[in-house]
């Protein structure tokens, strides 16, 4: 299966930038990591309960050409929308496509 014709969204990958503030706390900001073409697909995956914790649910699947420099600490940005990366899958384990389960978040 080929996704090349479906990579129709230009997304920014951002990584967290943590720095100390003046009173010993931490400031969290986001720093540019890369621009990528990707396929953005809305989905609905239900929350699951594990013990007393709720496992976060994905509401979007983002497919892009394989990259090994993305982690679940990062996020995608599309215009004013942000997508936290919940999990990464190397589709068919052949280093061609990365499938990211994401949750849309407000900026």
Distance CA 5, CA 12 (A): 19
- Asked if residue 68 lies in contact with residue 13, where contact means CB atoms within 8 angstroms, the answer is no
Residue 78: which CATH number?
A: 2.40.10.270
Number of domains making up the chain: 1
Domain that residue 96 falls in: 4-19+26-105
Q: What is the pLDDT along the chain (107 residues), one digit of tens a residue?
A: 466 688 999 999 999 998 777 777 777 899 999 999 999 998 865 555 455 555 556 789 999 999 999 999 999 999 999 999 999 999 889 999 999 999 998 66
pTM, two decimal places: 0.79
Q: Kindly list the distances between the CA atom of residue 11 and the CA atoms of 14, 55, 70, 78, in Å, as whole numbers in the listed order.
A: 10, 26, 13, 5
């Amino acid at each position: 299966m080929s996704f090349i014709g479906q990579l129709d969204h230009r997304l920014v990958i951002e990584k967290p930038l943590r720095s100390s503030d003046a009173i010993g706390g931490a400031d969290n900001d986001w720093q540019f990591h890369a621009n990528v073409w990707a396929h953005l697909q809305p989905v609905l995956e239900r929350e699951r309960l594990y013990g007393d914790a709720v496992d976060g649910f994905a509401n979007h699947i983002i497919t892009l050409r394989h990259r090994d420099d993305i982690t679940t600490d990062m996020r995608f940005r599309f215009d004013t929308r942000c997508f936290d990366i919940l999990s990464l899958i190397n589709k068919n384990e052949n280093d061609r496509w990365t499938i990211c389960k994401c949750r849309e978040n407000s900026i």
